[in-house]
A and B are shown apart, each in its own frame.
Chain A
Amino acid sequence: MSIQIKEEPKQYDVVIVGSGAGGGMAAYTLAKAGAKVCLLEAGGYYDPADPQYVTQLKAPWESPRRGAGTTRAFGDFDAAWGGWQIDGEPYTTVKGTEFHWFRSRMLGGRTNHWGRISLRFGPDDFRRGSLSGIGDDWPITYDDMKPYYDKVDRLIGIFGSVENFPNEPDGIFLPPPKPRLHELMIQKAAKGIGIPVIPSRLSILTQKINDERGVCFYCHQCNRGCVAYADFSSSSVLVIPALKTGNLTLQNHAMVREVLTDPQTGLCTGVSYVDTRTREEIQVKAKVVVLAASACESARLLLNSKSGRFPQGLANSSGVIGKYLNDSTGAGRQGFIPALMNRKRYNEDGVGGMHVYTPWWLNNNKLDFARGYHIEYGGGMNMPGYGFGMGMQNMNGKYAYADGNTHPAGGYGSRLKEDARRFFGAYVGFAGRGEPIPLESNYCEIDPDKVDKYGIPVLRFHYKWSDHEIKQAKHMQETFAQIIDAMGGTPVGDFKPSAENNYGLAAPGQIIHEIGTVRMGKNSGKSALNEWQQAHDVKNLFVVDAAPFVSQGDKNVTWTILASAMRTSEYIIDQVKANKL
């Protein structure tokens, strides 16, 4: 078989790989500034307002499996084409270690169904190394990032409240939605035991910010994508507007295989991709290459871009690429609140996420683990879907019915309808999301034996939690139990947090905040990128997803991806203007 490689004749100013948070922001910023940009996306086209993709406001009976997660990890109506496993695109793990890798293959990547929890890092999150003696500092500070966080707040829109809370900087906020009933109860109970609960910060429009986007109509379904463009998805808010400039060429179904370099100059000349429909190999030439394929995928691309001049992979003279992979910690618990039984019915959907949350409120100097976590809350009279009413035998024997009688657990008949009604909306959910310690020994690398269906060598993961994360999960569980208790409730289920089950600490990767695989730093012997997310070894190569991040705070990272991608894009524009690129 002879593979013919097609070369696109045109040379772009910039080629961007991946259209998620980082790639979308780079495409938007660069195209708006007048650069001729080519955006390559492995997945198909997606527009949350296009009827062919819309799942918003669908009722469960519109899915034969009532929305179960058989073919989509988060259910039939979730706006993610992809999941933990993708046909023909495997990854492997080193024996005795664990990593789960969630990928979306679509315009906008994982920003179509993400939780919209949009937290800036605080000043301390950039200097954990020097503050605690564990881990490393970033090469930049909060002050470097603040103007970009502000711009992202204004451009995309975010609700929240000004709190002056330590290390939880306030942004430019739209009004937050009022708390739901269980959220008021959590707030009250937590306050009594010294745990703050403040309005959440989500990128959802509670007010109009421009003519291109609508306002939230409180359907609680942001993970399905919003026909009104009232929440942030890279597809609707960045890429589609960028296309309207006329400066952006979007190529879907373009799976980038490697970054191309000129052996003489050592500079990038473009990228080579496989058209996933025709399996044709196509080369795109550009003056600047920007990777935004998501943290692990960008590392994979660089490690796979080997040449005589770059034998360890591109931009990897330090050997650091793939190392320091880290994901948020996560642990959860559910509580049952008897006071909420037999509630009055009203439409409690609200926005597609919690209306309140708890930022990290303690001092680690007084604790046996090094980093903090925040708490996300769930609950309410939510729309039933697959799973509703299951496990009733674990609940219905414990509480008396309206007539004052108790019946043995399980059963059948009309009492089960009463069960469904009396327990509806009487549960609260707790999810801790915390900062892990980035370790050199947690990494992804190229699997020496395996390729995917396009012949691209795949990633192999090696990841183990340290004691810090396990102790943090223990603390989370203790906190959840205290709040449930203060609410007069009881924890749900047989789960007993213990050392044997790591206190319910989620396996690495499961929280889907993976970062750190193409580190930035001042020292080119220890990092791959400089403080502008520009390769130390190759000046026209940039990475704008979460791969460059030195650490992730206890803040979900997407708002920081957006701010730093904007910062790097503006730097690229300045460098081009100054003739330095």
Chain B
Amino acid sequence: MKRRDVLKNIALTSVGVATAATGAKADPALNEEELSAKKKKKSPLAGRTQAEADRDAKLLSETFFTPAEMATITILCDIILPADATSGSASQAGVPAFIEFIAKDMPQQQTPLRGGLMWLENQSRKRFGAGFAAISPAQRIQIVEDIAYPEKATPAMKQGTAFFNLMRDLTMTGFYTTEMGFKDLGYIGNQPNVWQGVPEEVLKQFGF
């Protein structure tokens, strides 16, 4: 059963999960003409107010970062969360596009992000004579090592550290709020179920 259908059945029945799975008959009380007519109407808004939907559409139609900036963001995201034995990389999870959206949605992030990218570009040119996207992976890591550890960073690297913290924050959130992130984490909620308390073996493990 598609998620939509599960939901519909739950809305119309009274025993949650059990009946949802069997697709039992709808509850007459909620089946009134007016209500069911409304339910059939597919909505383009889906939980947004008109003003919010308009704003989202406008932001999605705009572009903030240049292609060169996006290339650097993608490289950084994948340094922060690379593909490994457990899950894919940040860019495979669509994190760069998420960061692009956040920059438009939260204008206060535009200067730290764009400025931070420029800072990085400048470091890269000074140290290796080319922009961050053009230097070798090993050279990139040399710079990243200098800005990835806030407690160890030298005063000259502090601004770079602040930028890297921001990139780490957005990459983590951007990754773990995707299906790939859910799988990596092992989050298995957000679905109809019946809570029956902490599983027995966990109770035991914790001495309850």
Which A residues fall within an 8 A CB radius of B?
47, 49-61, 64-68, 70-72, 76-77, 81, 177-181, 184-185, 188, 208, 210-220, 227-230, 244, 339, 343-351, 381-393, 397, 408-414, 416-417, 420-421, 424
Contacts and interface: CB of A to CB of B under 8 A. Distances in A.
B177 A386 contact: yes
Contact of B182 (A217, A344, A384, A417): A384
Interface in B49-63: 49, 51-52, 55-56, 59-60
A344 B195 contact: no
A413 B47 contact: no
B185 A424 contact: yes
Given A61-B177, A346-B188, A410-B150, 17 more contacts: A51-B41, A51-B46, A58-B47, A64-B101, A212-B27, A212-B30, A214-B13, A215-B14, A217-B20, A217-B193, A219-B189, A344-B202, A346-B199, A390-B173, A409-B150, A409-B151, A417-B84
A208 B14 contact: yes
Given A64-B56, A227-B7, A416 B206 contact: no
Contacts of A421: 184-186
A57 B195 contact: no
A316 B208 CA distance: 59
Interface stretch (B66-74, B111-119, B131-139, B164-172): B164-172
B16 A417 contact: no
Nearest to A389: B172
Contacts of A184: 198, 203, 206, 208
A369 to B, nearest CB: 35
16 contacts: A47-B38, A51-B39, A51-B43, A52-B47, A53-B45, A61-B179, A66-B173, A179-B197, A219-B190, A347-B195, A348-B189, A385-B177, A390-B172, A412-B144, A412-B148, A416-B80
Contacts of B98: 64, 66
A414 B185 contact: no
B10 A228 contact: yes
A412 B147 CA distance: 10
B169 A389 contact: yes
Contact of A49 (B11, B14, B169, B199): B11
A347 B105 contact: no
A225 to B, nearest CB: 9
The 3 closest A-B pairs by CB, nearest first: A389-B172, A52-B43, A178-B197
A350 to B, nearest CB: 5
Chain B interface bracket (under 10, 10 to 19, 20 to 34, 35 or more):
35 or more
Nearest to B94: A61
A185 B190 contact: no
A64 B193 contact: no
Interface in B1-23: 3, 7, 10-11, 13-17, 20
B188 A345 contact: yes
B195 A349 contact: yes
Contacts of B86: 414, 417
Contacts of A410: 148-151, 161, 164-165, 168
Q: Which secondary structure dominates chain A's binding surface?
A: loop
A211 B173 contact: no
A409 B42 CA distance: 49
A391 B169 contact: yes
Contacts of A391: 169
Given A345-B186, A381-B189, A409 B149 contact: yes
B16 A215 contact: yes
Contact of B189 (A50, A179, A210, A383): A383
A519 B30 CA distance: 39
Given A61-B178, A70-B106, A413 B10 contact: no
Given A70-B105, A81-B49, A347 B172 contact: no
Given A347-B188, A388-B173, A408-B152, A218 B193 contact: yes
A384 B80 contact: no
A244 B174 CA distance: 45
B123 to A, nearest CB: 16
A65 B10 contact: no
Nearest to A208: B14
A59 B169 CA distance: 20
Contacts of A219: 189-192
B105 A64 contact: yes
B35 interface: yes
Contacts of B155: none
A208 B39 CA distance: 23
A411 B16 contact: no
A387 B173 contact: yes
Interface centre among A70, A391, A412 (most CB of B within 10 A): A412
B65 interface: no
Nearest to B184: A417
A433 B37 CA distance: 43
Given A49-B39, A51-B41, A220 B189 contact: yes
A218 B194 contact: yes
B168 A393 contact: yes
A122 B175 CA distance: 47
Contacts of B168: 392-393, 410, 412, 416
Nearest to A230: B16
Contacts of B177: 60-61, 66-67, 384-386, 388
Contacts of B201: 344
B110 interface: no
B156 interface: no
A257 B7 CA distance: 40
A9 B184 CA distance: 64
Contacts of A348: 189
Given A70-B105, A208-B15, A413 B79 contact: yes
Given A66-B177, A413-B79, A417-B87, A227 B151 contact: no
A127 to B, nearest CB: 39
Contacts of B35: 47, 49-50
A53 to B, nearest CB: 6
B11 A349 contact: no
B195 A218 contact: yes
A214 B149 contact: no
A411 B206 contact: no
Interface in B93-130: 98, 101-102, 105-106
Nearest to A345: B186
Nearest to B27: A211
Contacts of B175: 389
Nearest to A178: B197
Nearest to A424: B185
A68 B7 CA distance: 24
